[in-house]
Amino acid sequence: MNPKIKSFLELKSIVQNLKTQNKKIIFTNGCFDILHLGHITYLREAKNLGDILIIGLNSDESIKKIKGNSRPILPQNERAEILAALEMVDFIIIFNEETPENLILEFKPDIQVKGGDYKKEDLKEAEIVKNYGGKVIIVSFLDGYSTSNLINKMKNASFNNC
C-alpha cells in the first residue's frame, strides 16, 4: 500500500507529531470517485492554505449510503492510490461514516476545507471546528466540473469512434 495511505492509529500519531512541529494541518474529505480538474484545483487551493493536506476519503460503504448503489465507480483502494499520486496530498485516511466529524474531532485540523458547492452553515462539522478554534474555509468551485457531470457525459457519449 502507498505510504501516504494511513490507518487511523498511524495518522493519529503523525498528526500529534506534526502539531509539536507547529505544522498547519489542512483537512478535507470527499468521495473523489472519478478524479477531474475540479478536484485538482480544489486540492491545490486547499494545500496552499497550510503545510500538510490530509484527505478523509469516503469508503465504498459510505458512498453507497450517500449516493446510492450505483456508486462509487472506482473502489476505495483505487481512489486512495490515485489521490496519493498527487503531489499536493500528504496523507489519506479512508473512513466509513457519511461525514468526517469523528476524524475532525480526533485530529483537530487547523483548517477544514470544502469546495464552493458547499456553504459553511450546511456543514455538520463546521460547529466542531469552530468550537476547538479551527477554521472552515470554502474554496472556489470550478463550475461545470463534477463527477456526476462526468458520468452523465460518459453515459451520453458515443464510443464508436475510439
- Residue pLDDT, tens place only, 79-107: 999 999 999 999 999 999 999 999 999 99
**Residues whose CB is less than 8 angstroms from the CB of residue 162 and which lie 6 or more positions away in sequence, other chains included:** none
**Residues whose CB is less than 8 angstroms from the CB of residue 159 and which lie 6 or more positions away in sequence, other chains included:** none
Residue-wise pLDDT for 17-75, tens only, equals 999 999 999 999 999 988 888 889 999 999 999 999 999 999 999 999 998 998 898 99
Distance separating alpha carbons of residues 72 and 76, to the nearest angstrom: 8
Residue in this structure with the C-alpha cell 451520453, named with its chain if needed: 156
Band (pLDDT 50/70/90 cuts) for residue 120 is confident
Q: In the chain, where are the structural domains located? A: 8-156
pLDDT (average), residues 114-127: 83
Is the pLDDT at 135 greater than 80? The verdict is yes
Is the pLDDT at 142 greater than 80? The verdict is no
Which helix H or strand E contains 55, and what residues bound it? strand 52-58
Give the right CATH number for 8-156 from 3.40.50.1980, 2.60.40.1220, 3.20.20.100, 3.40.50.620: 3.40.50.620
User: Which comes out higher in pLDDT, residue 153 or 116?
Assistant: 116
CA distances from 85 to 54, 57, 102, 122, 147 (A): 13, 14, 26, 31, 19
pLDDT given for residue 70 in this prediction: 85
pLDDT given for residue 140 in this prediction: 77
pLDDT (average), residues 117-128: 84
Question: b/e per residue, 45-77, with b = 16+ CB within 10 A?
Answer: bbbebbebbbbbbbbbebbeeeeeeebbebebe
10-14, 48-52, 86-90, 111-115: range with lowest mean pLDDT: 111-115
Helical ranges in the chain per DSSP H: 8-20, 37-47, 60-67, 76-84, 101-107, 126-131, 147-156
Amino acid (one-letter) located at 81: E
